[in-house]
């Protein structure tokens, strides 16, 4: 998937878009790693442009969440379409955990 990013004072925003290249999962992994290293207390992932999400991407998001938790930061998914949310739940069901999903970016900001 294509990843756009923006740095805010208290968060790092990633906006995901449908894939434009075959290296989309590598691109997502690189952007998530950069976001985790940013030192921001929150990483927001805007999913509104996605129709689907590969299971590998769900695992990458979960791994990012684990890394952020270790430094007392959080990963927040925003504007997640129903099909993408189903994929996330199915892919991560074996972990017994879920990702934090909120309806809007304003809701993500309110968590700070």
Is residue 37 exposed (0-12), middle (13-18) or buried (19+ Cβ within 10 Å)? exposed
Write down the pTM of the prediction. 0.91
Per-residue confidence of the chain (112 residues) as pLDDT tens digits?
567 777 788 899 999 988 755 567 788 999 999 999 999 999 999 999 999 999 999 999 999 999 999 999 999 999 999 999 999 999 999 999 999 999 999 999 999 7
pLDDT of residue 6: 77
pLDDT of residue 9: 85
Rounded distance between C-alpha atoms, residue 58 and residue 67, angstroms: 14
* Structural domains in the chain plus CATH codes: 2-110 (3.30.750.24)
């Amino acid at each position: 998937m294509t990843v756009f990013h923006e740095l805010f004072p208290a968060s790092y925003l990633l906006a995901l878009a449908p894939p434009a290249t075959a290296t989309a999962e590598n691109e997502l992994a690189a952007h998530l790693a950069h976001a985790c290293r940013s030192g921001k207390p929150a990483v927001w992932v805007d999913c509104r442009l996605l129709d689907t999400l590969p299971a590998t991407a769900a695992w990458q998001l979960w791994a990012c969440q684990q890394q952020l938790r270790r430094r007392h930061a959080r990963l927040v998914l925003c504007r997640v379409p129903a099909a993408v949310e189903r994929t996330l739940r199915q892919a991560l069901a074996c972990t017994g955990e879920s990702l934090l999903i909120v309806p809007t970016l304003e809701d993500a900001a309110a968590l700070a």
